[in-house]
């Protein structure tokens, strides 16, 4: 029988995405048996992150500052505001190097099954941010899941009612993808959202 402290560690590791009981147990044993220095580093890093990181007052992503460096950068186009679900989505947009505007991170998406509605996402903060006279366009870059689509639709309706220009990122075939290996839903969407060549 595992001691209580070990059970607590295994249980804590299970909070990570895609980590089940066996994986959590394997991680716990690895950290305790083979990498105690790594375990201490992980504990310190987690403690520091919890103590020092908070939400940016403008874009809502994680930062150590009141307003993150991206929001205060004079090189960003303040007329474009891209709405993403998570900080990870924001990083992917940045890595694509095709967008130079500002962001707003929802820190989630509307998901009635998980008890997350517009109030939990604090969409009034996004509406205030989008009301900035410098903002010319709001780009909805939520994921193409049922929840992401519902979130984009809800936000789009709210913004359009306030006279804000709203667009949605396109979807379709991946770069380098072949038609025969695409799923029919993606192919149908690519066809319906085609543009002049």
Cα distances (Å, whole numbers) of residue 61 to 84, 88, 108: 10, 10, 11
**pLDDT over 60 (residue 164):** yes
pLDDT digits (tens, 9 = 90+) for 28-60: 999 999 999 999 999 999 999 999 999 999 999
Angle between helices 36-52 and 21-33 (to 10 degrees): 110
Domain presence at residue 180: no
Domain count, the chain: 2
Q: What is the pLDDT of residue 197?
A: 63
**What's the CA gap between 83 and 125, in Å, rounded?**
12
**pLDDT over 90 (residue 175):** no
Domain presence at residue 192: no
* Mean pLDDT, rounded, of the chain: 91
159 and 74 in a common domain: yes
Q: Looking at residues 128-151, what average pLDDT do you find?
A: 94
Domain presence at residue 186: no
pTM of the model: 0.83
With tokens 């895609």, the residue in question is 18
Domain presence at residue 185: no
116 and 104 in a common domain: yes
Give residue 41's domain range. 4-52
Domain presence at residue 43: yes
34 and 122 in a common domain: no
161 and 106 in a common domain: yes
Across the beta sheet with 137-140, what order do the strands follow? 101-105, 77-84, 137-140, 166-168
């Amino acid at each position: 029988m595992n001691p209580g402290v070990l059970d607590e560690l295994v249980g804590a590791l299970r909070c990570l995405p895609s980590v089940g009981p066996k994986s959590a147990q394997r991680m716990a044993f690895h950290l305790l048996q083979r990498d105690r220095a790594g375990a201490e580093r992980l504990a310190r890093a987690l403690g520091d992150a919890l103590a020092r990181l908070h939400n940016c007052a403008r874009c809502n992503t994680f930062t150590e500052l009141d307003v993150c460096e991206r929001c205060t950068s004079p090189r960003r186009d303040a007329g474009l505001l891209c709405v993403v679900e998570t900080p990870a989505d924001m990083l992917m947009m940045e890595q694509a190097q095709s967008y130079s505007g500002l962001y707003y991170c929802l820190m989630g998406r509307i998901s009635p099954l998980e008890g997350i509605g517009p109030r939990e996402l604090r969409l009034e903060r996004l509406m205030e941010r989008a009301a900035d006279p410098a903002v010319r366009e709001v780009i909805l870059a939520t994921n193409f899941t049922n929840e992401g689509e519902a979130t984009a639709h809800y936000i789009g309706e709210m913004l359009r009612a306030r006279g804000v220009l709203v667009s949605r990122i396109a979807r379709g075939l991946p770069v380098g993808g072949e038609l025969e290996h695409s799923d029919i839903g993606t192919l149908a969407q690519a066809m319906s959202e085609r543009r002049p060549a």
